């Protein structure tokens, strides 16, 4: 007979890690399954709105998260990816790319993944000039011209990082104006090495072994920009594919109530994969704690 856990937590971003810390404090018999630690936090640049830190970088905060988990001796299976979740009687079965697990409750905190632009050259030059993480890969492009695809917060966060080390930064924005927070827009526009292309769309990424440039369409005209780095920052897609048994909204986010309950009894969701409207690190942490407390309450009031 397979071991029955009190809970399985999918994901080790801010929501999953916080849920795990709460589960450890509640002395639950649980397991964390994740592809990596930190999730989007590890990709973030300068963080100035996380309570208790006037300033901390994404990688530094991720390390703090990891240290917190390790202080509780939390069991984590990594790298491991959840493929399917289904009910098996009163239990919940989680099928991953490596094993199957049974649990009384489940917390889905799998976050989101970068959206692709879907143009010629994107896949061919991935990790050879095309990247989805300025924090991770930005230093590689020091002294090189780069293009940032996207005019929202993630795009301008990448731009603000690259402005410091690249001689020329192009921001390619499909909308008529930048949509990031005003203070970020102000900082970008103050930089002398930034060129903003609104109403523009990347049509092709080209090069040889590595990226050499991009073709951009603006007002019906195709232009070529000589860049060696392309940072794709056009939004994120919920990693909810493993949870097809749960109700999701039009954005494929798992629908939850204020107690993080999903449409299936015993399954809870937290963080960016859920329908909670604001996607922030600190909000994901709060939602992770709520999800665990709800799971604990469920375990305390149900017979198995």
State the average pLDDT for the chain.
93
Q: What is the pLDDT of residue 235?
A: 83
Query: Residues 217-241: what's their mean pLDDT?
Result: 94
What are the tens digits of pLDDT across the range 133-176?
887 788 889 999 999 999 999 899 999 999 999 999 999 999 99
Give the Cα separation of 150 and 230 in Å (integer): 11
Identify the residue with better confidence: 28 or 2.
Answer: 28
Q: What is the pLDDT of residue 97?
A: 95
Q: What is the pLDDT of residue 303?
A: 86
When pLDDT is cut at 50, 70 and 90, the band that residue 202 belongs to is very high
Nearest CA-CA partner of 162 in 122, 154, 62:
154
68 has a pLDDT exceeding 70: yes
What percentage of the chain reaches a pLDDT higher than 90? 83
The alpha carbon of 221 is separated from its chain's Cα centroid by a whole number of angstroms, namely 34
137 has catalytic annotation: yes
* Cβ–Cβ under 8 Å, residues 6 and 29: yes
| Dihedral over Cα of 222, 225, 228, 233: its sign | negative
Q: What is the pLDDT of residue 274?
A: 97
Query: Residues 49-60: what's their mean pLDDT?
Result: 87
* Cβ–Cβ under 8 Å, residues 105 and 204: no
Entry pTM:
0.78
Q: How far is CA 230 from CA 5, 58, 198, 281, in A?
A: 44, 21, 17, 25
Token pair of 30, please? 């649980």
1 has a pLDDT exceeding 70: no
Nearest CA-CA partner of 202 in 118, 101, 76:
118
Q: What is the pLDDT of residue 75?
A: 86
Give the Cα separation of 256 and 276 in Å (integer): 7
The alpha carbon of 94 is separated from its chain's Cα centroid by a whole number of angstroms, namely 21
Q: Is the peptide bond before 224 cis (omega within 30 degrees of 0)?
A: no
Q: How far is CA 279 from CA 14, 241, 260, 285, in A?
A: 11, 19, 15, 11
Query: Residues 66-89: what's their mean pLDDT?
Result: 94
* Cβ–Cβ under 8 Å, residues 165 and 143: yes
94 has a pLDDT exceeding 80: yes
Least confident span in 105-109, 130-134, 266-270: 130-134
Q: What is the pLDDT of residue 43?
A: 74
| Dihedral over Cα of 70, 73, 78, 81: its sign | negative
Nearest CA-CA partner of 244 in 78, 35, 82:
82
What are the tens digits of pLDDT across the range 252-281?
999 999 999 999 999 999 999 999 988 889
Please provide residue 223's backbone torsions phi and psi, each rounded to the nearest 5 degrees: -125, 155
All structural domains of the chain, each given as residue ranges with its CATH number in brackets, are 4-113+236-301 (3.50.50.60), 116-232 (3.50.50.60)
* Cβ–Cβ under 8 Å, residues 295 and 107: yes
Q: Which of 136, 181, 226, 257 is catalytic?
A: 136
2 has a pLDDT exceeding 80: no
Nearest CA-CA partner of 184 in 219, 151, 211, 207:
151
Query: Residues 237-248: what's their mean pLDDT?
Result: 94
136 has catalytic annotation: yes
Identify the residue with better confidence: 182 or 54.
Answer: 182
Token pair of 75, please? 């069991």
29 has catalytic annotation: no
197 has a pLDDT exceeding 60: yes
């Amino acid at each position: 007979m397979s071991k029955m856990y009190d809970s399985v937590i999918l994901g080790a971003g801010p929501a999953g890690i916080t849920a795990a810390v709460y589960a450890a404090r509640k002395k639950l018999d649980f397991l964390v399954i994740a592809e990596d630690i930190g999730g989007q936090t590890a990709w973030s640049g300068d963080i100035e709105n996380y309570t208790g830190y006037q300033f901390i970088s994404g990688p530094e905060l991720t390390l703090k998260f990891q240290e917190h988990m390790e202080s509780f001796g939390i069991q984590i299976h990594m790298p491991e990816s959840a493929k399917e979740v289904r009910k098996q009687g009163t239990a919940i079965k989680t099928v991953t790319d490596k094993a199957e697990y049974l649990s009384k409750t489940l917390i889905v905190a799998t976050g989101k993944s970068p959206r692709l632009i879907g143009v010629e050259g994107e896949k061919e030059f991935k990790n050879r000039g095309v990247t989805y993480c300025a924090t991770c890969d930005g230093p590689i492009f020091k002294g090189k011209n780069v293009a940032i695809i996207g005019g929202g917060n993630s795009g301008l966060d990448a731009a603000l990082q690259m402005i410091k080390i690249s001689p020329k930064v192009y921001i390619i924005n499909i909308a008529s104006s930048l949509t990031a927070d005003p203070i970020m827009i102000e900082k970008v526009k103050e930089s002398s090495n930034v060129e903003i292309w609104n109403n523009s769309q990347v049509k092709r990424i080209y090069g040889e072994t590595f990226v050499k440039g991009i073709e951009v369409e603006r007002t019906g005209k195709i232009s070529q920009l000589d860049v060696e780095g392309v940072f794709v920052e056009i939004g994120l897609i919920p990693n909810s594919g493993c949870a097809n048994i749960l109700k999701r909204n039009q954005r494929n986010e798992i629908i939850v109530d204020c107690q993080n309950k999903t449409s299936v009894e015993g399954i809870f969701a937290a963080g960016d994969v859920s329908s909670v409207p604001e996607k922030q690190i600190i909000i994901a942490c709060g939602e992770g704690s709520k999800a665990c407390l709800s799971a604990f309450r469920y375990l305390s009031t149900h017979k198995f």
